[in-house]
């Protein structure tokens, strides 16, 4: 899915720079967030840092090459004669006592190439393994963060659609309220109803208008929330759709069967962190084991030029062992074991939490589906009830309060219906995520429209 989103991003040229002129689909928003969302970028940086830390552990495993160079002059008897030997410049005259005791100042340009090859460093080997597990855990954690970002984008995107739909519903309600107000004023002028009916109608119409103003403000903020979710530098973004998906498409999505077993990346991250902690315990134990390393070097010594003269070589194997260094190895071992216990507890907690979230998501999806269907029926019932009360008011068999109450019930039912569809979409997304699926599959709702 990540490859799909990346390809989608490439198909939307300079999308982030043209948000003011181009409306986004959900697919566009998810693609933008994949690369630009703040949480995704932070998680990617942490993953890169872990990978770099894992690469640094190769120092105790791979060979190292070092070049050396320098110049030194001396008239110390031992140093001067040793320099002659290194330069392969010893002659018979050099053994004269006066020259041995009082040598002339001699200069030497030294150069060397040194290769060091670790043969056995247990702490480095297990440290490398621990670092690789930690890097893999960070990558899995990054994937879980990206999944969280997708949920945030879906919530913000459909939240913007919900805000638009609420504006539309309240705008319709305001027109209806104003129509009822004009009707009440007309009936008052004709002496059919009292002045209080006209006044109450004006008050109730004003209440609806105030709610519409607030809804328009929420709709404007919804665009800003989506911009933050996708991680773009914009006051707000526009969305391509103008209403929430219909009930059939949402019902099909919420009711769709899911695979029984999918690996969640947060559980995988916790398990890898536990493996890293276990390898770190072995690394700490390896601190008290001997270390075996090989080395080789080539040296050049000449009076005036680097890498001049005859070269000489030295090679060997070194064993070093520090069975006790003031107790630091023991302290490191205790700390590593404590970290392993903590990582084990976190892995078990992640597994238990995943099971709980699956049950919770399934319950929420089932409840959201029922609420949506009830809300859909409530809209039809409230519309009919409003029509009946309106006819009764025209005939003088209902009060203006009853009329506006019926209108308010219809408006509330429409708003609740929109809210129920929004919650059902989020429930479907979270159900996918809880089972380890990709919430980006919610884009199928766009294809169904």
Residue 232's pLDDT is what? Answer: 85
What residues contact residue 256 under an 8 Å CB cut-off, 6+ apart?
A: none
Query: What's the pLDDT at 139?
Result: 95
pLDDT of residue 4: 40
- H helices within 57-110, ranges in order? 77-86, 97-101
**What's the pLDDT at 261?**
63
pLDDT (tens digit per residue) in 41-52: 999 999 999 999
Q: Do domains 2-61+123-282+327-448 and 65-119+289-320 have the same CATH topology?
A: no
Would you identify the CATH topology of the domain 2-61+123-282+327-448? Answer: Outer membrane efflux proteins (OEP) (1.20.1600)
CB 71 within 8 A of CB 108: yes
Q: What is the DSSP letter of 245?
A: P
Which segments in the chain show pLDDT lower than 50? 1-21
Question: Given phi > 0 = left and psi -120 to 50 = alpha, else beta, which region is 64?
Answer: beta
**So where are the chain's domains?**
2-61+123-282+327-448, 65-119+289-320
pLDDT at 167: 93
- On the CB side of 186, how many CA atoms lie within 13 Å of its CA? 8
- Phi/psi of residue 258, each to 5°? -120, 155
| Alpha-carbon gap, residue 57 to 129, rounded angstroms | 9
pTM: 0.81
* CA 57 – CA 122 distance, rounded (Å): 12
Contact 380, 359 (CB under 8 A): no
Candidates 2.60.120, 1.10.287, 1.10.8, 2.20.200; correct CATH number of 65-119+289-320?
2.20.200
Report the pLDDT value the prediction gives residue 323, as an integer from 0 to 100: 78
User: Across 329-408, where does the E strand assignment appear?
Assistant: none
Query: Residue 312 — φ and ψ, nearest 5°?
Result: -130, 155
Q: Are 355 and 434 in contact (CB under 8 A)?
A: no
Rounded to whole angstroms, the Cα distance separating 412 from 368 reads: 18
Backbone phi and psi for residue 232, each to the nearest 5 degrees, phi listed first: -110, 155
Q: What is the pLDDT of residues 342-377, one digit of tens each?
A: 999 999 999 999 999 999 999 999 999 999 999 999
**pLDDT, position 21:** 42
Q: Which residue has the tokens 């892995």?
A: 347
Query: How far apart are the C-alpha atoms of 393 and 204, rounded to whole Å?
Result: 16
């Amino acid at each position: 899915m990540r490859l799909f989103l990346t390809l989608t991003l490439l198909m939307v040229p300079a999308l982030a720079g043209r948000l003011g002129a181009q409306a986004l689909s959900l697919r566009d928003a998810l693609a933008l967030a994949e690369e630009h969302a703040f949480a995704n970028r932070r998680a990617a940086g942490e993953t890169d840092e872990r990978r770099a830390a894992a690469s640094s552990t190769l120092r105790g495993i791979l060979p190292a090459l070092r070049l050396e160079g320098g110049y030194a002059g001396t008239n110390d008897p031992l140093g001067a004669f040793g320099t002659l030997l290194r330069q392969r410049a010893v002659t018979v005259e050099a053994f004269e006592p006066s020259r041995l005791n009082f040598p002339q100042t001699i200069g030497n340009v030294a150069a060397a190439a040194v290769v060091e090859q670790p043969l056995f460093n247990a702490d480095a080997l297990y440290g490398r393994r621990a670092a690789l597990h930690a890097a893999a855990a960070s990558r899995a954690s990054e994937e879980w963060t990206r999944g969280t970002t997708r949920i945030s984008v879906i919530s913000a995107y459909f939240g913007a659609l919900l805000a638009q739909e609420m504006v539309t519903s309240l705008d319709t309600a305001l027109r209806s309220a104003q129509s009822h107000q004009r009707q009440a004023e007309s009936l008052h002028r004709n002496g059919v109803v009292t002045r209080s009916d006209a006044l109450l109608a004006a008050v109730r119409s004003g209440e609806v208008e105030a709610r519409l103003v607030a809804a328009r403000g929420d709709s404007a903020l919804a665009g800003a929330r989506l911009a933050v979710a996708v991680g773009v530098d914009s006051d707000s973004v526009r969305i391509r759709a103008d209403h929430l998906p219909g009930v059939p498409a949402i019902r099909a999505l919420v009711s769709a069967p899911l695979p029984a077993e999918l690996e969640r990346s947060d559980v995988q991250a916790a398990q890898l962190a536990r493996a890293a902690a276990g390898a770190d315990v072995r690394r700490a134990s390896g601190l008290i084991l001997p270390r075996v390393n090989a080395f080789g070097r080539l040296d050049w010594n000449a009076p005036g030029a680097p890498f001049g003269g005859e070269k000489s070589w030295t090679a060997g194997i070194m064993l070093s062992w520090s069975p006790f260094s003031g107790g630091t190895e023991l302290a490191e071992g205790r700390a590593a074991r404590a970290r392993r216990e903590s990582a084990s507890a976190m892995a078990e907690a992640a597994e238990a939490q995943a099971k709980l979230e699956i049950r919770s998501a399934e319950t929420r999806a089932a409840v959201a589906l029922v609420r949506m269907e009830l809300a859909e029926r409530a809209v039809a019932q409230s519309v009919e009830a409003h029509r009946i009360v309106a006819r009764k008011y025209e005939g003088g068999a209902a009060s203006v309060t009853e009329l506006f109450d019926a209108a308010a019930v219809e408006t509330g039912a429409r708003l609740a219906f929109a809210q129920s569809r929004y919650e059902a979409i989020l429930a479907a997304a979270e159900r996918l995520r809880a089972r380890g699926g990709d919430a980006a599959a919610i884009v199928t709702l766009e294809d169904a429209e």
